[in-house]
Amino acid sequence: MRSYLWYLARRFGQFVLVVFVGINIVFFVTHATPIDPVEQAISSATQFGQSDPRAVEIMRKALRELYGLDGSIWQQYLTFWRRLATGDFGPSLSAFPTSVSTLIGQALPWTAGLLSTSTLVAWCVGNFMGGLAGYYRKNRLLKGLGIVATGLQPIPSYIMSLVVLILFGYLWPILPISGGVEMNIHPGFTFSFLGSVAAHSLLPVLSLALITIGAWFVGMRSLVSNIVAEDYVVYAELAGVDRHKILTSYVMRNALAPQLTGLALSLGGIFNGAIITEVVFGYPGLGTLLVRGVNSGDYSLVLGIASISIIAVATAVFAIDLLYPLLDPRVKVR
């Protein structure tokens, strides 16, 4: 138990370091861009007529304080971390006076649900199919499924999203193609609302799952193909142990540990694909919100979404890292 606590402490230190470095990079890159949200706001406010220069200067000073851009870069840096610690990213330029935290709070559950569902579906289906294909190597059906899965893997996420959109939105219009829920439905834990959310999420989930199933399939098939040649597997087969038990307890359980590590490493890439997929389907998540913020030059919104995304992905990787030694007893936590 003490060794696992030490392992947890070391992994938590790595988690904090990753979040700190990632958010620092986002802060300095964002501040190095030529876009000035204060000047954009002033330009938008004064474009329909002339304003008193003193009023403009007062507005400029108030906006700089409001957006945390008052003072030197190091003063802005300290202000940013102070706001981040309290979850306050200031107001949104594109949706003023709504705060960035409010906008992120509205969009985050949509992206979290989309990512968790598509990742879980792709990981489970890909590993299950790959495990069967690696163990039953002469099965023609599994060989055919392997060809399809590996053929879908290199397709970019935006191409897959467009293909799914055309197939199930126009050629065979059985599912909604835009939005996260049907209009005029009151949010709540009701059958109509939850059913509408599930129907609107099917195409985005399918788009993300199809392009990632192949990677899990290939990886699991290769791992299982190597494990079935191990002495303990051969001995179990010769001893007459049930093949189903050999597959689940002897082979796939040992092959899942590397796949769990791969899941942690792939979370960042999955989030990037989700951004494009959300834009294609008009899904009300962080991806759509981020693109809107970039197009409108919403400085605070982009910075807030990037920071929250870094924290969310790092937290998911940290959680998987803590589960790894519990699933694989061969991993030493000391």
pLDDT digits (tens, 9 = 90+) for 215-225: 888 888 888 88
The verdict on pTM exceeding 0.85 is no
d(CA 194, CA 200): 10
Which region holds residue 99: left if phi is over 0, alpha if psi is between -120 and 50, else beta?
Answer: beta
What pLDDT score does 267 carry? 64
For residue 76, how far is the Cα from the chain centroid?
A: 28
CB 235 within 8 A of CB 76: no
Does any domain span residue 321?
Answer: yes
What is the reported pLDDT for 43?
A: 67
* Residues of the chain falling short of pLDDT 70: 1-2, 4, 33-60, 62-71, 94-96, 187, 264-273, 297, 324-334
Res 90: pLDDT:
74
Instruction: Tell whether 241 is covered by a domain.
Output: yes
Whether residue 38 lies inside any domain: the answer is no
Residue 42 forms part of a structural domain? no
In a domain, 255, yes or no: yes
- Which pLDDT belongs to residue 179? 76
CATH number at residue 133: 1.10.3720.10
The burial class, CB within 10 Å (0-12 / 13-18 / 19+), for 69 is: buried
pLDDT in tens, 57-74: 666 676 666 666 666 778
Q: Which domain holds residue 193?
A: 108-297+316-327
Tokens of 178: 């835009």
So what's the pLDDT on residue 105? 83
Q: For position 122, what pLDDT does the model report? A: 86
pLDDT number for residue 70: 67
Distance CA 174, CA 120 (A): 24
Structural domain contains residue 29: no
Asked if residues 70 and 64 have their Cβ atoms less than 8 Å apart, the reply is yes
Q: First and final CA of the chain: distance in angstroms? A: 10
Whether the Cβ atoms of residue 244 and residue 311 lie closer than 8 Å to each other: no
Neighbours of 289 (CB within 10 A): 28
- Domain total for the chain? 1
Q: Is residue 145 part of a domain?
A: yes
What token pair was written down for 70?
């008052």
Q: Quick check: is 158 in a domain?
A: yes
Q: How confident is the model at residue 329, as a pLDDT? A: 56
Q: How far apart are CA 135 and CA 105, in angstroms?
A: 45
pLDDT for position 331: 57
96-130, pLDDT tens digit by residue? 677 888 888 888 888 888 888 888 888 888 888 88
